[in-house]
Amino acid sequence: MDSPEPPVISDAVKQSFAEPVTCHAGEDLLLKVPVSGIPRPNAVWSTKGKEIKDPRFEAAVAKGVAQLSIPEAKRSDSGTYHIKIQNSEGEAEADITVKVTDVPSAPGGPMKTLKASSKALTVGWAAPSDDGGMHITQYVVERKTCGDELEEWTRIGKVFPGEDLKMTSDHVDKGTSYKFRVSAHNSLGSSPYLESADILADDKFSKKQSRHQ
C-alpha cells in the first residue's frame, strides 16, 4: 500500500502557466493541470472569487491530471482561474490566466453629427468598450439615403487607429436626409454596427453651430 502524500502541483507546471491560455470565442477550451498526491486529490476550481458551479463547465481529476472543460468559450470567460487540489494530507494551488478573443463590441455611441451643411456631413463616434482582446485594425463607415428601403449601404471610407474617429461624407444632396453606420474591426472580424439618427443635409445646422461658437 502506498504511503500517503500531500498534493503537489510542480513549479514547472506553474511556470508553464506564466503566459495566458488563449482561444477564440466559440472554441472549446480544456485546462489541464498535472497533479500528484495519495490519496488522489480532489480539485476545486474558482474564478472571479467564486467557486465554479455552472453546469456548462466540467471538472474532473483522472490519471494524474486535473482538468476543466469550457465548451464554446465566450469572451466573458476570460480571467484568472484558480485551482486548489486537496486530500487528507494537505493541499496545493495554482492560477491560470485565460484570454478568450472575439470581434470587438460596437463602437461607442451615440454617433454624433459634428458638422452638417448642404455640401457635406461629418459624423463622429468613440472606440468600442471592448476591443475583443485584440488590436482594432480599422473602422469602416457606410452611408445610405433615408426613406429608400431598397437602397443598400454604401461604404464611404475607413478610419485607422491613431486617427480622429470621425468621417466626412461629401456629395450629398441639399434637403436630403442620410443615415450612417460604423463598425470596428480586428483580425477576427467586424463588430456590430453603431448607427446614426437621420441627418439632414442642410445649412441650418452649420449656421446654428456658428452662433454657439
pLDDT tens per residue, range 110-167: 999 999 999 999 999 999 999 999 999 999 999 999 988 888 999 999 999 999 999 9
Convert 78-110 into a string of H (helix), E (strand) and C (coil): CEEEEEEEEECCEEEEEEEEEEEECCCCCCEEE
Strands of 50-51's sheet, edge to edge?
21-24, 90-101, 79-87, 42-47, 50-51
Residues written for the chain: 213
List, for residues 11-43, the tens digit of each pLDDT value: 999 999 999 999 999 999 999 999 999 999 999
| Furthest CA-CA distance within the chain | 91
pLDDT(205) > 80: no
Q: What is the pLDDT of residue 210?
A: 44
pLDDT tens digits along 37-65: 999 999 999 999 999 999 999 999 999 99
Q: CB burial class (10 A; 0-12, 13-18, 19+) of residue 145?
A: middle
SS3 14: helix
**CA nearest 119: which of 194, 197, 205?**
205
Question: Which domains does the chain possess?
Answer: 5-101 (2.60.40.10), 108-211 (2.60.40.10)
pLDDT band for position 85 (50/70/90)?
A: very high
**Which segments within the chain are labelled E, that is strand?**
5-8, 21-24, 29-34, 36-38, 42-47, 50-51, 58-62, 65-70, 79-87, 90-101, 108-116, 121-126, 138-145, 154-159, 166-169, 177-186, 189-190, 194-195, 199-200
DSSP state of 163: S
Give CA 26 to chain center in angstroms.
12
75 DSSP assignment: G
